[in-house]
Amino acid sequence: MDRNIAAKFIDYQVSCKDCCMANVCLPLGLSAVELDQLMKIIDRQSPMSRGEHLFQIGEPHKSLYAVRSGSIKVYIPTEGGEEQVHRFILPGELLGFDAIEGGKHTCAAVALETTSVCAFPYHRLEKLCHTFQGLDHELHRLFGKEIANEHDLLQLLAKKSAEARLASFLLDLSNRLKKRGFSEREFNLTMSRHDISNHLGLAVETVSRLFARFQNEGLLTVRRRHIQLQNMPEIKELFVNVSPTTSKRRIAPANRKGNIGGSYRLRKVKAAQV
């Protein structure tokens, strides 16, 4: 019986068809034949534990990777021990596009929790592309998606206020989790406040304060890394608002002078001084 289960487990591991991420992963949109071929080149790695690296900066590029379960932080170590957290990868998402041009990874990837990934050796993938148009097209689409993602993030960092950044981060996460069959309203963050703030180009303290404020405003409930989004429409509102740089409005303009409490005050408080 034990062996049976083990066998089943291994089988489950090996087949894309049975993988619960099949509908969001690379195999999406491939024909049965293409899928069969693709599966043959997949190199399954043994599960990684928290803190273990999938690849380090400068390592030669070998594969594109798909996360099967767990989550990964992609970051760029900078001179002076600092880092820039680039993105977080959820199950069914790919990584490793960064090294295609130069042949070496330009960033590092580390597991945030116990994580398992599928590796697609890149040279074999490219070869396969020449045989199967569908795969090549799919790969191009994924490249495009990668680029579109970066665009969004750019937009965010160039123009949005701190609150819009955090709102956007949470909504994005919520969306991606939903697509993958998880709850869109309730989830656990696998990354630290430090990682989040770094990723959003903010200070940890700011993120912490924003979480507190959002909670006070009834937008969400947060207890350490556990998040429940209570009022998604209103969170979306925050996200739409552009940054102080470009914006005219934000809050009732009439209140602005009165709102001397500073930026960390609740926005919903009726400004007594007005």
User: Residue numbers of the site for DNA (CB under 7 A)?
Assistant: 161-163, 192-194, 201-209, 211-212, 222-225, 243-247, 256-257, 262-264
Single residue of 34, 93, 98, 163 touching its own copies by CB under 8 A: 98
Whether residue 243 contacts residue 166, with contact meaning beta carbons closer than 8 Å, is answered with no
CB of 59 to DNA, least distance (A): 24
CB of 228 to DNA, least distance (A): 13
**Nearest by Cα to 222 from 185, 249, 262, 265:** 185
Q: Which is nearer to DNA, 179 or 267 (CB)?
A: 267
* Cβ partners under 8 Å of residue 131, min gap 6: 37
Collapsed DSSP state (helix, strand, coil) of residue 218: coil
* Cβ partners under 8 Å of residue 25, min gap 6: 16, 19, 66, 92, 94
Binding string, residues 202-231; x marks residues near its own copies by CB under 8 A: xx----------------------------
CB of 73 to DNA, least distance (A): 12
Single residue of 76, 171, 232, 271 touching its own copies by CB under 8 A: 76
Please name the helix (run of DSSP H) or strand (run of DSSP E) that holds residue 131, with its range, or none. Answer: helix 122-131
d(CA 209, CA 129): 49
Binding site for its own copies (CB under 8 A): 76, 78-80, 82, 84, 86, 97-102, 106-107, 126, 129-130, 133, 136-137, 139-148, 150-151, 153-155, 157-159, 199-203, 240, 242, 245-246
